[in-house]
Structure 1
Amino acid sequence: MTTPKTPAVRLTGISKRYGSFTAVHPLDLAVPAGSFFALLGASGCGKTTTLRMIAGLEDPTAGTVQLGGQDVTALPPYKRPVNTVFQNYALFPHLDVYENVAFGLRRRGIKSVKKQVGDMLELVQLGSLARRKPHQLSGGQQQRVAVARALINEPQVLLLDEPLGALDLKLRRQMQLELKRIQTEVGITFIHVTHDQEEAMTMADTVAVMNAGRVEQLGDPADLYENPGSTFVANFLGTSNLIETEVAGTGDGLLRLTAAGQQLTLPAARCRAEVGAGDRVLAGVRPEKMTLAHRDDEDAIPAGRNRIPGRIVDSSFIGVSTQYVIDSPVCPELEVFVPNVERDGRLVPGAPVVLHWNPEHTFGLDAGQDIDAGIDAGADGDPGTGPRSEQDPARDSAKGVPA
């Protein structure tokens, strides 16, 4: 009997090797029942392999899979209480929407399916399209049919393998909200695999960021974004300015840092590394947390804020915000996103400026890491992280999408 505290899915020491290649290193993972859980990472990070081991489509090299407290490691896919929705939906082209959704029930020998199918079509808002064939539907409608066909079997867990990947940008964003609505209404555990940061951040209660077959960091979207635990997470989930600094002193819960002669302050509680005076630390700040002021207005900057002088080398107007690239003594390319509310005509390439921000918005990372880790991890053809002409970086960075 499953109790409220029993995870819907528990992976214990699970791993997968193909010859000498390790696709998934041993990992432990517990997915809360009734949650929307995302496995997020770039292509080849092991997220789909992990999902397939949960589904029974791949045998783990080591470790166990439990569903609702039951060890299902040795069970074939059809005996596991899960259903999977794939990117291509796999709808039957010769059957209409109604019969596609009813297929699983009829296969189990259930004769009276009208009410169940009707309720499921209403859930996905396709009741009026019940007699249409798949080719007569939009991509988003086909995706909802696939979800309805999977949910009607009442699985304990619904697995979604890049289900929105074939949709265009606008429709994919609509379907993100639709999937979250459906999951909230039915209360079934959803495990969603994606390489799209916005997708994971928008829908999931909990996100596991995967990198090279390991879970790099696990948490709710806001915590992952505000408190990244590694340079990979800081760069992969949105954009981060990472500044190489040295600890000049400590005290009063603060780390006093220096970088190229500039003084910065970092709350000790927001530093992931154990450091003392003389140690190196990467001070990070998100571009939308920074304020850009012309050098002539420097005296108006409130006391106590971190500040860095520089010069604008590039600017891009993108709808509700403008992205600036700043050359500074502490870093050659600092990025800052400025909302287009009251535009300062002096902020043009070549202008002397001061970047300033609340020290509480600074996070600290171990300087022994690769400062560029994760920057190129999302560049695998994903339109959701693609051309800046399609998106607004201030909004997308706040959601965890590289601008």
Structure 2
Amino acid sequence: MTITLSGIAKTFGDFTAVHPLDLTVPEGSFFALLGASGCGKTTTLRMIAGLEEPTSGSILLGEDDITRLPPHKRPVNTVFQNYALFPHLDVTENIAFGLRRRGVKSVSKQVAEMLDLVQLGDMARRKPRQLSGGQQQRVALARALINRPQVLLLDEPLGALDLKLRRQMQLELKRIQTEVGITFVHVTHDQEEAMTMADSVAVMYGGRVEQLGPPAELYENPRSTFVANFLGTSNLIEAEVLSPGTAGPEQLRVQVVGADATLRLPAARCAVDGVGAGTKVLVGVRPEKISLAHTDDADSVPRGVPEDHNRLTGRITDASYLGVSWQYVVESPAGTQLTVYEQNVSRDSRLTPGAHVVLHWQPAHTFALDAAQDAAAGEEAV
């Protein structure tokens, strides 16, 4: 069922938790509200659930206005972080609770279907204390889904799990959503969680939706410094646009502030209106898009720098082994420390702190943002 929020807002006294926002959650999608604590994502979810009354605006479920409906009259169920299972009931009775409360007499078939869906058939008679965190989470999901809601709301449902189990449950949640085919709205502060599971993500900041779209679109084409920094890591470099068109109608050339370097980027990846010569921008590139070449090899083959790549010079100040990759911190004349991730395949042993290097990457992997924005926005929220 499609959810449509129109001008929905919430204030608590003098504090505005959610500024008026318009948002459409497509039917059958896995939709994530992503943001740091206090951004308004949970308040938005609670307004959909009927647990908070909007100060203004309306909420439609399909064609039906549910803005003033009490929670128990909405075809919506919510799964919370603490699961709220009944400790004295076994798995079967926990799952059947909602049906029994509605007076349904025969529940065995529906409970069996839910146990099969969440793959807990062999644990039907266990009590919650006999289950792992992930198993308890599955019971909570089954208990919500057995009521056949048109929308399932998930409020930080994996927050209490350890990292490995959380990643397993991310895949399980996505599998379950695909099988049941109903609309899931998932609130989380975990960027990886949102990007792993969601079809669409709304990044919230200060009670507003900063950017909305598929995870890959948000990551590759952030429209603000907050999104660039909050979703992963970005290197943002101060630059000034040279005459548009000097690199071709589909590319921009920029001069790096403080360095003797020009960079190129696709014009379509510049999130600045009215770009002209002299426009100040923040040029961005993700750490995994950058390669390092030792200065001695910069012009050699095969370790050298391709002629069509953007390049900056620098000096390595730190090298950290992360298992799947190496993380380098490079000091550059561009006036900022740049982070580089290189896959742990074949490492040049000369890439150690103190080494002089050339950072290079494809122009297509470059984006540009408005330099009037705070270059550090989003970093403190990660």
Query: Into which bin does the TM-score normalised by the smaller protein fall?
Result: over 0.9
1:56-105 per-residue CA deviation (whole Å, 9 max, x = no partner) reads 00000000011122001110000000000000000011100000001111
Q: Name the aligned partner's letter for residue 255 of structure 2.
A: T
Q: Show the counterpart of 1:187.
A: 181
1:175-200 per-residue CA deviation (whole Å, 9 max, x = no partner) reads 00000000000001000000000100
What are the equivalent positions in structure 2 for 1:253-402 lying under 5 Å apart?
A: 253-259=250-256, 260-274=259-273, 275-299=275-299, 300-378=304-382
What are the equivalent positions in structure 2 for 1:3-402 lying under 5 Å apart?
A: 8-251=2-245, 252=248, 253-259=250-256, 260-274=259-273, 275-299=275-299, 300-378=304-382
C-alpha distance in 1, partners of 2:25/2:50?
17
Q: Name the aligned partner's letter for residue 9 of structure 2.
A: S
Q: After TM superposition, give the deviation of residue 331 of structure 1 in Å.
A: 3.0
C-alpha distance in 2, partners of 1:341/1:198?
23
Percent identity for Structure 1 against Structure 2:
73
Does the 8 A contact of 2:237 with 2:336 survive in 1?
A: no
Q: Name the aligned partner's letter for residue 285 of structure 1.
A: V
C-alpha distance in 2, partners of 1:104/1:169?
31
Return the TM-score normalized by structure 2.
Answer: 0.96
C-alpha distance in 2, partners of 1:331/1:197?
28
Return the TM-score normalized by structure 1.
Answer: 0.92
C-alpha distance in 1, partners of 2:251/2:158?
44
Q: Name the aligned partner's letter for residue 262 of structure 2.
A: Q
Question: What secondary structure does 1:266 align onto?
Answer: strand
C-alpha distance in 1, partners of 2:192/2:242?
37
Q: Name the aligned partner's letter for residue 153 of structure 1.
A: N
Count how many residue pairs are aligned between Structure 1 and Structure 2: 372
Question: What secondary structure does 1:331 align onto?
Answer: coil
Q: Name the aligned partner's letter for residue 338 of structure 1.
A: E
Question: What secondary structure does 2:72 align onto?
Answer: helix
* Comparing 296-305 and 219-228, the one that deviates more: 296-305
1:100-152 per-residue CA deviation (whole Å, 9 max, x = no partner) reads 00111111111111100000100000011000000000000000000000000
1:300-347 per-residue CA deviation (whole Å, 9 max, x = no partner) reads 311111000000011101101100000010133100001111111110
Question: What secondary structure does 2:243 align onto?
Answer: strand
Q: After TM superposition, give the deviation of residue 278 of structure 1 in Å.
A: 1.0
1:360-398 per-residue CA deviation (whole Å, 9 max, x = no partner) reads 0000111110010000112xxxxxxxxxxxxxxxxxxxx
C-alpha distance in 2, partners of 1:69/1:225?
33
Q: After TM superposition, give the deviation of residue 269 of structure 1 in Å.
A: 1.1
Q: Name the aligned partner's letter for residue 67 of structure 1.
A: L
C-alpha distance in 2, partners of 1:339/1:297?
19
Q: After TM superposition, give the deviation of residue 250 of structure 1 in Å.
A: 1.5
Does the 8 A contact of 1:8 with 1:156 survive in 2?
A: no
Q: Name the aligned partner's letter for residue 295 of structure 1.
A: T
Q: Name the aligned partner's letter for residue 344 of structure 1.
A: D
Question: What secondary structure does 1:249 align onto?
Answer: coil
Q: Name the aligned partner's letter for residue 191 of structure 2.
A: Q
C-alpha distance in 2, partners of 1:238/1:345?
27
Question: What secondary structure does 2:378 align onto?
Answer: coil
C-alpha distance in 1, partners of 2:143/2:196?
24
Q: Show the counterpart of 1:381.
A: none
Q: Name the aligned partner's letter for residue 343 of structure 2.
A: P
C-alpha distance in 2, partners of 1:180/1:52?
22
Q: After TM superposition, give the deviation of residue 160 of structure 1 in Å.
A: 0.3
**Coordinate RMSD, CA, aligned:** 0.7
Does the 8 A contact of 2:152 with 2:183 survive in 1?
A: yes
C-alpha distance in 1, partners of 2:138/2:157?
10
Q: Name the aligned partner's letter for residue 267 of structure 1.
A: P
Q: Which runs of 4+ in 1 moved over 6 A?
A: none
